[in-house]
Structure formats: C-alpha cells, structure tokens
Amino acid sequence: MIEESYNVGKYRCRIIYNNVSGLPIVFLHGYSFTSDVWRDIGVLNRLEDEKIPFIAIDMPYGARSICSPHTRSVGENLFVLHEIYRGVFGSLKPLIVGASLGGYIGLRYALEKPVAGLFLIAPAHALEEELVRKYRSMSVPTIIIWGSRDRIVKREEMEKLSQLLEAELLIYDKAGHPAYLDYPDRFINDLLSFHKALKLE
C-alpha cells in the first residue's frame, strides 16, 4: 500500500493505492471525510491482504480532504477522478465505491466513462432530474447501501434509485448515514462478495 501526493492540472491530492493485477476498486469519501476513513475501518488492509488493486483519492470536494485547491465543481472533481485513476490504472474499468457526495460523483462518472460496477453508500443528490433521465441509458451492476438511521438520505429515495438502476438495495439496520462506520465487517464482506461476482462475469 502506497500513500503519496498526485499532481493533476492545478490540483495536488493525496492518494492511497495498491497497484496489483485485477479489477481495481476506487474509493470516494463523503464530504466530511478523507481517504483515512477507508483505512480506519480496515477495508484497505483487507484488500491488500487479498491482493486486490485499489485507490482511495482525497477529492477536491471534501471539506477536510488532503487536496488543494478545494472545489465543489462537479466537472473539476470528475476531471481529477478520471485523470488520477487513468494515471494509476490506465484503461481498466473500475468498481467505484462512493459514499454520500462520493456516491454522487461516482454516479456522474459512470454516466460518462465505462465502469465495472457501482457500490454506493447513501449517494447524495442521486435523484436530480438530469441524472434520472440519463439512468435509462446506463446498465451497470450496482449495490446501494442505506442505514436505517440515516437522517440525510431517505429510504424512499434509495428505493427509487435502486429501481431506476435495477440495483440491489442493502439495508443496514440501526446504521447512520455513513453506514460502513457502524458495520465495517459487513461492509467489507459485502464489497468483497460484489467484487468477486464482477470478476467472474
């Protein structure tokens, strides 16, 4: 596992990655988090042990991310994501893991670039009219996770999104908005199972 700063355009962002062969997993943190959250819950170490390639990017949209300058511009964040991912993993299609705002950016990315799958934790703004219209043309294996104590994203929204994307909706009982924090072991196992299924396709 390597941690370093990566320069792309005017941005300098921290990345944590494991560049081995296989289907790469991209981790996009929520607005209030950094890539440290993925390391803290143990998922990066587990992936390293399993010899699975991954990259966790501190994104410009994050309030505390180790990336400068910061910006909420969707276009700029998509640019940073695409250029950093391509620089590390080339043209391989990724499995994108996105939490909240990271899930939103992951959805926007999947509408523009080829992806192997989406593993989304309560993605924010996912039912914007512009996106809903485009979902019809998107066919990507998707899992959505929602915590029953989420006070930011409603269950009805995630149920509607799962229908639009023909996705599997996993409810984490008594979990909050960042459901992976409440059930890290379940989250890791669900992700590994999904990754393995995608790899076999």
pLDDT tens figures, 111-139: 999 999 999 999 999 999 999 999 988 99
Domain of residue 122, residue span: 2-200
CA 59 – CA 69 distance, rounded (Å) = 10
Predicted confidence at residue 200, as pLDDT, reads: 60
Predicted confidence at residue 150, as pLDDT, reads: 97
CA 85 – CA 67 distance, rounded (Å) = 15
Strands 25-28 and 95-99: parallel
pLDDT tens figures, 29-49: 999 999 999 999 999 999 999
Predicted confidence at residue 169, as pLDDT, reads: 98
Predicted confidence at residue 199, as pLDDT, reads: 73
Predicted confidence at residue 95, as pLDDT, reads: 98
Query: CATH number of the domain that 178 lies in?
Result: 3.40.50.1820
In terms of pTM, does the model score above 0.85?
A: yes
- Residue 163: C-alpha distances to residues 49, 116, 135 (Å): 35, 19, 10
For the chain, how many structural domains are there in total? Answer: 1
Mean pLDDT of the chain: 96
Tokens of 197: 């299924």
Question: Is the per-residue pLDDT at 201 higher than 70?
Answer: no
CA 176 – CA 21 distance, rounded (Å) = 34
